[in-house]
């Protein structure tokens, strides 16, 4: 299956005349890949958006069963791509084969979960619909018959994420949720895995043909230049944006969105240090076990999960916990990160932290290759950490900061100052949890998911999941990117009223 | 009950040193009122916001029953204000006494409806909560126990509306929804009814004392200068804004919000011409009846309802309908509008329309006083109307445009170009509705509420109501300002996860 470097524009694979080429990158070989990927032109994007607008008029009329069949077909076609998908992505990301197989399964499950929800739904797509019955003889005025339903917003722009090349990229959560809701998608592929995106778009192309869906219902744009991202979010026909990426890119896109006449939702997931609050009795009873769990969660995917535990709040003098954590980190193998930029940024942050007098480098893993990133565990005390906001910025990659505390009041003060987070875990005995109830209550207001005695990594895809959190972990705290409620991102209420 | 002109800042009635005064206005007497109202200072606003932030830490912990009791107490205290409230508002707005009594009842009912919802709620405030049960022995990984709940966003800024001095102002829908959700409110009073706002804030003050709520849970700011509005929406502690007002003010506030680091929801309701689509068989069967209903809805509140029917799409040669409408408008009495600015703006728009060659003035009511506004009914053909966007701008007041059409295809083209609307009604026989299904489907995507054979005025306050619509009728189409779901404006999901 030859990768052509073309973009999929409403059913056509297009390469612009005299398009510039860019190239994927092999983190493992630390060099560019050889397959040229072609910059989509602004005209191609405009055509994709226009076709999506036209497709919306047909696609929004599909019934739930038709949409469910389509989502199942997409999942089927992802499966039909077979090993070449996994191999291609492995080459582009160096994520382990087993991890990629698991993520592919999750991505198919996401599509099927929306399909099942649609199949099980009768009245209102969001299952949030309700109705009030008319009271024609009510005085002084008759009460009408009203029913609340949900309509799709229109064309959705989706930006792929580098760290989840399947589950949050081309045919990932936002695309699945938008299509389930009845919205066409114009997708900007992530430049860290363009060949993967092309394969995924081919699967989509087949599913569209199989289900006779309008061609404009999905387009995939290959582009490295920033302009095209701004053209996508600024287009009047685009009615919502799903984005996973950096704080700085998100804010540039928000500036462009602010210049639109019509405000639109921007669902950005930006980053999180996912505080791990370890309480006193727990660390005494099970210090080494908790240290093992945290180390394993940190090292998973070499620290590149959005829920990677980057901040460990540990009672002072938790020697067994600390010793075990040091042992784990020292024993860890270095590995690649997703892109050379991410490696450079990680190393820069590590160098800065290492140079500080008020931060101690507790442990690091061996660096077996210069272009790898090795795990680092730093330590500081809670007052230093609380008083310096720069210490609370996310370092993307295998790094955690262990912050030691003495008193509940120190935790309370820190939690007040914490930025919004996707998740936080509290590790405590029943007695611990009771004693720290006030801190935990405050912590809830800083996170989208609060976890008792479990790791933040491994997001469960289920109806009651919430993935998203207060700013800056995400830009719209009202919404989740995981679980069935993700459909609500792309729906809006309508009331239908009649006399009786 | 003497009006002092002070602002309520977290339980204290405050007038700034050397504060400038401004004055309410009597539309009836067409002159300023005599009671001075004092400009709140920026320090007073900052203090209100800070106290609201502190109050949030207590108020968010109140249980549903405590909040319900508080909401009932607010309604009780509004009632206890008695006739002085009605008289004061009548003086400030010249809205009829009976209308104000009705609106007061609705405002109390809104508060009580949220209270009842809270009393009836057990698990999750929004009744949207759900849970997934753990499967500890699931392979390859155990499934955790997860529960979805909703948390209040934090301090909410509310701007009062001029046209609903009770139901969408000081203690109106947004204030009620925010308090029900667990959010403190900092309220900027509308300058068209400052004395009404003071009385309402007094009722709130009493309810806060009666229920021993934290004083910072509600503040009311009297201010005419624009800066203070921008200070409110720009304050980092403010987490959401409820606004009803003009397009131009909303966009200035949105510009300030775009400069914040943290994006926040801005729920603005801006305006709507509420298209009335009258179909062929219906107009033949019941033309004069529909004309009566439309005229009555238009004249209600002298055209100052947000759901006033401003656009009548009528089949060509509907002579009986047209004759009856002309008769009704000609027989209508002129009346005041809410403020001199609104009168000036209305008259300016009427003069512009009257001067056009391609628009006909079909009928007008008698103008009995120069500072009144009299009803105007204009007419044009659908091609003129479709080709000139300026004809589709809202004229706030008693004005409607009758647009005649011949063919379904003309309607389809117009609907494509329509801006977003709060509501649209379709007046048709069963046969009509069947024949025009495609136009009606398209119309749904332009409105927040679609109505069969009823008037858009008279919004029912019930769970399945939706009040809001695609931009520019509102700035966040995902949300309603009326009905129980209005609470969702000020809530956000959280997932609580544990092993089992």
Mean pLDDT by 10 residues, chain A (500 residues): 94 97 96 97 98 98 96 98 98 96 96 93 66 89 92 97 96 97 98 98 98 98 96 98 95 97 97 97 98 97 95 97 98 96 96 98 97 98 97 97 97 97 98 97 98 94 92 96 92 93
Residues of B in contact with A144 (CB under 8 A): 454, 460
Q: Residue A260 has which token pair?
A: 């639109």
Buried residues in B454-464 as b, exposed as e (16+ CB within 10 A): bbbbebbbbeb
Phi, psi (degrees; rounded to nearest 5) at A202: -65, -40
The structure tokens 């392979």 sit at B139
Tell which residue, B246, B286, B294, B317, has the closest CA to residue B451.
B294
pLDDT value of residue A3? 96
CA angle A220, A224, A225 (to 5 degrees): 110
Are the beta carbons of B185 and B52 closer than 8 angstroms?
A: yes
d(CA B245, CA B396): 11
For helices B227-234 and B42-59, the axis angle rounded to 10 degrees is: 30
Beta bridge partners of B45: none
**pTM of the shown model:** 0.96
3-state secondary structure of A275: strand
Q: Count H helices and E strands in chain B, helices first.
A: 15, 19
Are the beta carbons of B208 and B12 closer than 8 angstroms?
A: no
Are the beta carbons of A115 and A62 closer than 8 angstroms?
A: no
Q: Collect all residues with Cβ–Cβ distance below 8 Å to B292 and sequence separation of at least 6.
A: B324, B328
Determine the CATH number of domain A7-270+477-498: 3.40.605.10
Phi, psi (degrees; rounded to nearest 5) at A189: -65, 150
pLDDT value of residue A177? 97
pLDDT value of residue B124? 61
Q: Residue B280 has which token pair?
A: 């062929």
- What residues does each domain of chain B span? 7-270+477-498, 275-452
Q: pLDDT 10s per residue in chain B (500 long)?
A: 789 999 999 999 999 999 999 999 999 999 999 999 999 999 999 999 999 999 999 999 999 999 999 999 999 999 999 999 999 999 999 999 999 999 999 999 999 999 999 998 765 666 567 888 999 999 888 999 999 999 999 999 999 999 999 999 999 999 999 999 999 999 999 999 999 999 999 999 999 999 999 999 999 999 999 999 999 999 999 999 999 999 999 999 999 999 999 999 999 999 999 999 999 999 999 999 999 999 999 999 999 999 999 999 999 999 999 999 999 999 999 999 999 999 999 999 999 999 999 999 999 999 999 999 999 999 999 999 999 999 999 999 999 999 999 999 999 999 999 999 999 999 999 999 999 999 999 999 999 999 999 999 988 888 899 999 999 999 999 999 998 889 999 999 999 999 87
Element (H, E) at B451: strand B447-452
- SS3 for A181-229, per residue? HCCCEEEECCCCCHHHHHHHHHHHHHHHHHCCCCHHHEEEECCCCCHHH
Residues of A in contact with B476 (CB under 8 A): 263, 265
Pick A492's closest partner by Cβ from B143, B465, B477.
Answer: B477
pLDDT value of residue A127? 59
Phi, psi (degrees; rounded to nearest 5) at A51: -65, -35
Pick A132's closest partner by Cβ from B449, B463, B472.
Answer: B463
d(CA A491, CA A171): 19
Q: Do B146 and A472 touch (CB under 8 A)?
A: no
d(CA B487, CA B479): 9
d(CA B493, CA A468): 9
Listed as own residue / partner, the contacts of A354-361 with beta carbons closer than 8 Å and 24 or more positions apart are A358/A384, A358/A388, A359/A384, A359/A391, A359/A401
Q: Look at the alpha carbons of A220, A225, A229, A230 in this order and tell me if their dihedral is positive or negative.
A: negative
ipTM of the complex: 0.96
Residues of A in contact with B53 (CB under 8 A): none
Are the beta carbons of B114 and B177 closer than 8 angstroms?
A: yes
Are the beta carbons of A204 and A171 closer than 8 angstroms?
A: yes
d(CA B7, CA B251): 26
pLDDT value of residue A338? 94
Output the CA–CA distances (angstroms, integers) from residue A309 to A70, A99, A455, B246, B250, in the order listed. Answer: 37, 18, 8, 46, 41
3-state secondary structure of A147: strand
Output the CA–CA distances (angstroms, integers) from residue B160 to A98, A199, B169, B243, B369, in the order listed. Answer: 57, 53, 4, 7, 28
* Residue pairs between chains A and B whose CB atoms are closer than 8 Å: 169
CB count within 10 Å of CB B334 equals 18
Q: Residue A380 has which token pair?
A: 């500081």
Are the beta carbons of A186 and A49 closer than 8 angstroms?
A: yes
Residue A495 falls in the annotated catalytic set:
no
Q: Do B496 and A265 touch (CB under 8 A)?
A: no
CB count within 10 Å of CB B466 equals 31
Tell which residue, B466, B467, B488, has the closest CA to residue B270.
B467
| Start-end of H helices in B314-407 | 319-330, 340-354, 382-387
Say which CATH class B275-452 falls into.
alpha beta
Q: Do B499 and A148 touch (CB under 8 A)?
A: no
CA angle A444, A449, A452 (to 5 degrees): 80
Residues of A in contact with B132 (CB under 8 A): 460, 462-465
CB count within 10 Å of CB B449 equals 29
Determine the residue among A423, A493, A500 to mutate to test chain B binding: the one whose Cβ has the most chain B Cβ atoms within 10 Å.
Answer: A493
3-state secondary structure of A86: helix
Output the CA–CA distances (angstroms, integers) from residue A163 to A245, A246, A275, in the order listed. Answer: 9, 12, 20
Are the beta carbons of A401 and A311 closer than 8 angstroms?
A: yes
d(CA B174, CA B242): 6
Q: Is B348 exposed, middle or buried (0-12, 13-18, 19+ CB in 10 A)?
A: exposed
Q: Residue B444 has which token pair?
A: 């749904």
Are the beta carbons of B170 and B202 closer than 8 angstroms?
A: no
Which residue in B has a C-alpha nearest to residue A461's C-alpha?
B143
Q: Are B7-270+477-498 and B275-452 in the same CATH fold?
A: no
The structure tokens 């779901």 sit at B485
The structure tokens 């959010």 sit at B183
Q: Collect all residues with Cβ–Cβ distance below 8 Å to B63 and sequence separation of at least 6.
A: none
Tell which residue, A21, A160, A36, A24, has the closest CA to residue A92.
A24
DSSP A418-460: PPPEEEEEEE--HHHHHHTHHHHHHHHTTEEEEEESS-S-S--
Are the beta carbons of B27 and B94 closer than 8 angstroms?
A: yes
pLDDT value of residue A140? 81
Which residue in B has a C-alpha nearest to residue A152's C-alpha?
B445
CA distance from start to end of chain B = 59
Are the beta carbons of A221 and A228 closer than 8 angstroms?
A: yes
Q: Do A130 and B463 touch (CB under 8 A)?
A: yes
Question: How far away is chain B from the Cα of A488, in angstroms, using its nearest Cα?
Answer: 9
Phi, psi (degrees; rounded to nearest 5) at A481: -100, -5
d(CA A45, CA A51): 10
Phi, psi (degrees; rounded to nearest 5) at B462: -150, 165
Q: Do A448 and B151 touch (CB under 8 A)?
A: no
Q: Do A464 and B143 touch (CB under 8 A)?
A: no
CB count within 10 Å of CB A249 equals 15
Q: Give all strands (DSSP E) within B375-428, no chain letters.
A: 376-381, 399-405, 421-427
Beta bridge partners of A375: none
Residues of A in contact with B460 (CB under 8 A): 132, 143-144, 146, 497
pLDDT value of residue B461? 86
Buried residues in A118-142 as b, exposed as e (16+ CB within 10 A): bbeeeebbbbbbbbbebeeeeeeeb
């Amino acid at each position: 299956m030859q990768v052509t470097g073309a973009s999929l524009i409403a059913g056509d694979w297009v390469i612009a005349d005299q398009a510039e080429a860019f190239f994927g990158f092999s983190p493992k070989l630390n060099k560019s890949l050889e397959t040229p990927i072609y910059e989509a032109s602004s005209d191609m994007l405009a055509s994709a958006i226009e076709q999506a607008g036209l497709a919306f008029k047909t696609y929004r009329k599909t019934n739930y069963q038709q949409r469910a069949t389509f989502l199942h077909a997409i999942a089927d076609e992802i499966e039909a791509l077979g090993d070449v998908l996994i191999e291609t992505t492995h080459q582009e990301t160096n994520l382990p084969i087993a991890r990629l197989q698991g993520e592919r399964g999750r991505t198919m499950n996401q599509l099927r979960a929306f399909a099942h929800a649609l199949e099980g739904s009768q009245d209102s797509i969001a299952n949030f619909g309700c109705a009030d019955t008319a009271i024609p003889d009510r005085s002084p005025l008759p009460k009408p018959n009203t029913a609340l339903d949900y309509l799709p917003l229109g064309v959705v722009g989706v930006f792929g994420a580098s760290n989840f090349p399947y589950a949050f990229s081309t045919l990932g959560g936002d695309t699945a949720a938008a299509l389930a809701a009845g919205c066409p998608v114009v997708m900007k592929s992530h430049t860290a895995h363009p060949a993967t995106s092309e394969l995924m778009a081919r699967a989509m192309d087949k599913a569209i043909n199989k289900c006779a869906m309008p061609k404009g219902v999905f387009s995939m744009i290959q582009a490295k230049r920033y302009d095209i991202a701004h053209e996508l979010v600024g287009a009047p026909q685009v009615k919502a944006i799903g984005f996973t990426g950096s704080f700085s890119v998100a804010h540039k896109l928000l500036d462009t969105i602010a210049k639109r006449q019509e405000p639109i939702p921007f669902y950005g997931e930006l980053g999180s240090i996912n505080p791990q609050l370890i309480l006193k009795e727990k660390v005494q009873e099970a210090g080494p076990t908790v240290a093992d769990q945290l180390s394993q969660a940190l090292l998973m995917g070499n620290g590149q999960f959005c829920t990677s535990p980057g901040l460990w709040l540990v009672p002072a003098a938790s020697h067994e916990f600390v010793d075990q954590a040091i042992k784990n980190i020292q024993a860890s193998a270095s590995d690649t990160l997703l892109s050379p930029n991410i490696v450079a940024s990680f190393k820069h942050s590590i160098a800065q932290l290492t140079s500080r007098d008020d931060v101690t480098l507790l442990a690091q893993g061996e660096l077996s290759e210069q272009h790898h990133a090795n795990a680092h565990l730093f330590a500081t005390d809670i007052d230093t950490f609380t008083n310096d906001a720069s210490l609370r910025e996310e370092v993307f990659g295998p790094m955690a900061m262990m912050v030691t505390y003495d008193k509940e009041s120190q935790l309370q003060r820190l939690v007040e100052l914490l930025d919004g987070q996707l998740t936080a875990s509290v590790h405590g005995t029943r007695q611990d949890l009771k004693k720290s109830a006030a801190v935990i209550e405050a912590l809830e207001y800083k996170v989208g998911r609060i976890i008792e005695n479990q790791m933040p990594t491994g997001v469960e895809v289920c109806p009651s999941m919430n993935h998203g959190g207060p700013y800056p972990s995400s830009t719209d705290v009202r919404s989740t990117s995981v679980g069935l409620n993700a459909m609500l991102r792309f729906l809006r209420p309508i009331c239908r009223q009649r006399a009786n």
